[in-house]
Structure formats: C-alpha cells, structure tokens
Amino acid sequence: MKKEKYNEISKQILDASITVHKEMGPGLLEMVYELSLKKELQLRNIFVESQVPVPLFYKGYDLGKEYRIDLLVAKEIIIEIKAVNVVLPVHEAQIISYLKLTDKKLGFLINFNVSLLKQGFKRFVNGF
C-alpha cells in the first residue's frame, strides 16, 4: 500500500473515531467502541475485520500463544481500542508488538475514555 492510501485511510479512521466518540460518549466498555467503530468504518465502505488472531512464533516454532487485534483496517492498519483513565506504557507496547508480529506499517491506539477524542488518538509506525 502506498503512503497516500495509508494517509487517506488514516483520515477516515480519525474521522470515524470522532464520530463514534460524539455518538457514544466516554465511559463505556471497550467492546462497545470496537463494534461501533467497525460499523462506522463499514458505513464508509472501508474493509475492516475484528478480533483478528495473531499467532506467536519463535524461530519458526509456533509457541501456542495467540494475540487478537481489535480491528484490522484494509488488511494493513491495526487499531487497538482502549477505554481507560490513563494510557499506560503497556498499552503502547501492545500496539507496537502487534505491528512487529504482523509486519504491518501503521497502527492506532485509540482511547475513547477522554473528553476530546484527539487526546486519546495516537499513531504508531513500524519501519515506515
């Protein structure tokens, strides 16, 4: 995917996230925001998958551990959704891990438990 396409979809993700936040408000469970954002992206004709499995491998060996990406947009952009009072370093490590384990280039950590969504919207890149 070219940078222009990443930027175009990224703008849609931000706008869709703001729309969900305005509609639902802060203080709900993460799953509420995940399902709402998935639907908002689908309404914009953007392909999105939820709870995408990411198996863990080491030196080609399957370690029997599987992580789950909250949303995978256009098969390329990872979204990790939170509804917490404070985003902790462990939350950032989570999205960074998903980017590295899947070799994806772009991800967003979105915390919906804020008064203004832009305060809870953070972009992460992996070799981009």
Q: What is the CATH number of the domain that holds 73?
A: 3.40.1350
Give the domain range for residue 24.
3-125
Q: How many domains does the chain have?
A: 1
Q: What is the number of other CB atoms lying within 10 angstroms of the CB of residue 33?
A: 24
Helix (H, G, I), strand (E, B) or coil at 44: coil
Q: How far is CA 124 from the centre of its chain?
A: 10
Q: For the segment 75-119, what is each residue's pLDDT rounded down to a tens digit?
A: 999 999 999 999 999 999 999 999 999 999 999 999 999 999 999
| Mean pLDDT estimate for the chain | 96
pTM over the 0.75 mark? yes
For residue 128, pLDDT beyond 90: no
Residue 17 near residue 110 (C-beta atoms within 8 A): yes
